[in-house]
Amino acid sequence: MEDILHAGDLTCKLSPDDSLTIALSTEDLENLDGQTELEKRRNYESGILNKLSSRKLKYAKPLREKIGRLALAADQFIVERLQSPVMSGNTVIAGYHWFGDWGRDTMISLPGLALCTGRHEIARSILLTFAKYVDRGMLPNRFPDQGHKPEYNTVDATLWFFQAINSYYQDTKDKEFLKKIFPILEDIIEWHLKGTRYNIKVDEEDGLLYAGQEGIQLTWMDAKVGDWVVTPRIGKPVEVNALWYNALLIMAELAKKLKRSPEVYESWAEKTFIGFKRFWNNDMGYCYDVIDGPDGDDSNLRPNQLFAVSLPISPLTNEQQDMVVESCRRKLLTSYGLRSLTPDHPDYKGTYQGNPGERDGAYHQGTVWGWLLGHFALAHLKVNKDPAKAIEFLEPIFQNFNTHGIGSLSEIFEGDAPHNPWGCIAQAWTVAETLRAYIEISKSDKTVDSVPVYPQSRNKKTPPVEISE
């Protein structure tokens, strides 16, 4: 059962050559002229496409229309957030029609929504807006309505913040921005080393990041029904530590740009690199989802380990990366994204139906997530060096442009065929990561660079680490 709002009926009889303008707005519509507004909208969308073209990206002609449609869809999620009665900044709406601006979704989506579309000033504004709310080394997960305090129940949003900042800097070489943001990043690292909310703290023995508290959901698998956290993942989650490893290496490189010592970050990165070996489940041929949890290590195959391949620098060996991608391809990949749990698991939910509690119970127990498809395509490209095949994985999701939220991509799909779309009819990170994957793959038509791996011993000569976009 759902609450369905029927706002009313509109009936109008049109003769040939007549036109009708329907405008719904929260702003003053006095003296509205339909034809004028239509032309303004067309000019605005042309501006978005021209910015995309100005980046001089080299991609095959058949991809241009799809990338253009994704760029137009991406624009719908970027909005203004009032920081005070006289000051505003930009933020990202996570999804329509019921999500607000969430830290995790914003940082994951920012490269695709703003950088891939050549809107660097928007990206800068978003990053600085969120930076103002960093508290005890954490980025807020959700901005509540006006008058309420931000909520900080996330371990990964802050780590995605590093990825977004690095992507912005690599695109712009904005040194002034880097000088402004670097002290905030330093503070974040310090808090994670000494410990912050919800038992988020680096384990000094293995360099891995621990997080979790009973009754609190901290990772992107954050469904909660009453007091029941569906996938609590207390311990050391695999994607969180892949992000932590990349954040440390990003800090080392940014420190060098500012002529600061990178030694502390390189030292922790080395420890994390060695500690990450604990995630490898040799018997299963893929990574544990969580280690050192209340019930030991979690060997369930979930898509989270994919980030240990798709992020710029992998802590896995080349052979392990290949095995992770193949395991995800065989058990989790669908036409529209990756399942959140394998179909052969007893907790698997292949349909996303029922009351809110039943749907939330299925949210991360088999439901397909569209935003993961881009990461899978990029991970597959990294290990197989086959751009054409990587593009193939992205193609089916374009059917969704015309089936759920017209002109956009959905949040989730059912785990069982035919994988019906559900959730938000337009989701920021689905659009953003699909767009980013298309553009990144198109860049690799001529060459695909090998993945740098952090050295196992500081006694060995350390090669320079290149952080890609």
Contact 399, 322 (CB under 8 A): no
**Mean pLDDT across 37-53:** 90
DSSP string, 325-394: HHHHHHHTB-SSSEESS-TTSTT------SSHHHHHHHTTTT-EETHHHHHHHHHHHHHH--HHHHHHHH
Return phi, psi of residue 71, to 5°: -65, -40
Q: Which residues are paired to 102 by β-bridges?
A: 142
DSSP H/E element including 90: strand 87-92
Tell me, what's the pLDDT at 195?
A: 98
Point out the least confidently predicted range of 70-79, 357-366, 449-458.
449-458
Point out the least confidently predicted range of 28-37, 345-354, 420-429.
28-37
Token pair 């095995």: residue: 323
- Which residues lie closer than 8 Å to 311 by C-beta, 6 or more apart? 163, 242, 243, 246
Tokens of 208: 């891995």
**Mean pLDDT across 121-128:** 95
**Mean pLDDT across 112-135:** 94
pLDDT in tens, 235-251: 999 999 999 999 999 99
Tell me, what's the pLDDT at 28?
A: 80
What is the domain partition of the chain in residue ranges?
332-446
C-alpha atoms less than 13 angstroms from C-alpha of 228 in its C-beta half-sphere: 7
* Rounded percentage of the chain residues whose pLDDT exceeds 70: 90
Confidence band, pLDDT 50/70/90 cuts, at residue 56: low
Tell me, what's the pLDDT at 145?
A: 64
If you count them, how many residues does the chain have? 469
- Other residues' Cβ atoms within 10 Å of the Cβ of residue 11: 4
Spatial CA neighbour of 312 closest among 188, 432, 172, 452: 452
Whole-number mean pLDDT of the chain? Answer: 90
- Which residues lie closer than 8 Å to 144 by C-beta, 6 or more apart? 100, 150, 151
Strand 95-96 relative to strand 426-427, pairing? antiparallel
Cα Rg of the chain (Å, integer): 22
- Other residues' Cβ atoms within 10 Å of the Cβ of residue 401: 18
Task: Check whether 437 has a pLDDT greater than 60.
Answer: yes
**Mean pLDDT across 152-168:** 97
> CA 186, 187, 190, 194: dihedral to nearest 10 degrees?
-170
> CA 415, 440, 405, 230: dihedral to nearest 10 degrees?
40
pLDDT in tens, 251-308: 999 999 999 999 999 999 999 999 999 999 999 999 999 999 999 999 999 999 999 9
Confidence band, pLDDT 50/70/90 cuts, at residue 30: confident
Task: Check whether 137 has a pLDDT greater than 50.
Answer: yes
Tokens of 443: 């860049």
Q: Which residue has the higher pLDDT, 198 or 1?
A: 198
Tell me, what's the pLDDT at 457?
A: 32
Tell me, what's the pLDDT at 167?
A: 97
Strand 421-422 relative to strand 426-427, pairing? unpaired
pLDDT in tens, 249-266: 999 999 999 999 999 999
**pTM of the predicted structure, to 2 decimals:** 0.90
